[in-house]
Amino acid sequence: MVTFASISENVSAMEFDFKPLASLCRVEVNLSTNFGGGTVRGTFGKIIGKINFAPERPQSTNGKISLSSRSLRFNYAKVAFDSHSPDWLNSAQYPEISFHMNSLENFSWHGKELRAEAKGVLIIKGISKHITMPISVHYFRTARRKYEGKAGDLLKIEGLLALPIREFSLPGGNEIDQNVEVTVSMTGASDRVRPLLPSRLFVY
């Protein structure tokens, strides 16, 4: 007898690449400060990475996302300049910020939305820390054709992280809060179309 469980075990995870639809990927940094109107917003201009995801086994999700430190830009001139100094990101010596996702935990389905905690290792300035980021995941079957004219599925990941900057040797002090808010919105593209197997993703 073929069961949903046996089908799930035989379905491989699909790889989603963030490079093809880079224009739909955004990582934003919000600093609460005592200058510049209270909040200074920055964005990373270069984001790459790949995620392996199987909706039948969300816990096995893994991959890596890399940000170019040098591509970070702020809407406030002083912070834009200081952010790349040796005291801050030191982007000349450490040109990459990376997050290595190891798994999804405490996940639950809400219609077609998967809510979970992404567990992994964040590396900034050569300092590695285990972090947990609450995320939501949406799967769009055959949607790549809409953007590129190519067959494939899309995976959209959104998350919010309160980053403790002192743990990564980033200065805080009286001017900047100790926790920096990081918002993530990433859309990855696969070169495959997932079959219509029994799945929470395809229940209408």
Q: What is the mean pLDDT of residues 47-71?
A: 95
| 96 belongs to a structural domain | yes
Q: With contact defined as beta carbons under 8 Å apart, do 7 and 198 qualify?
A: yes
pLDDT digits (tens, 9 = 90+) for 68-107: 999 999 887 777 888 898 888 999 999 999 999 999 999 9
Q: What does pTM read for this prediction?
A: 0.85
Residue 71, SS3? helix
CATH number where 80 lies: 2.40.128.110
CA distance 71 to 31: 17
Residue 88's Cα: distance from chain center in Å?
22
| 129 belongs to a structural domain | yes
Residue 65: phi and psi, rounded to 5, are -120, 130
* Residue 159: pLDDT over 80: yes
Beta-bridge partners for 123: 98, 128
* Structural domain total, the chain: 1
Q: With contact defined as beta carbons under 8 Å apart, do 27 and 183 qualify?
A: yes
CA atoms within 13 A of residue 99's CA, in its CB half-sphere: 22
Q: What is the mean pLDDT of residues 51-61?
A: 92
- Structural domain of residue 144, as residue ranges? 28-196
Please tell me the predicted confidence (pLDDT) of residue 172. 53
| 132 belongs to a structural domain | yes
pLDDT digits (tens, 9 = 90+) for 10-38: 557 999 999 999 999 999 998 876 655 57
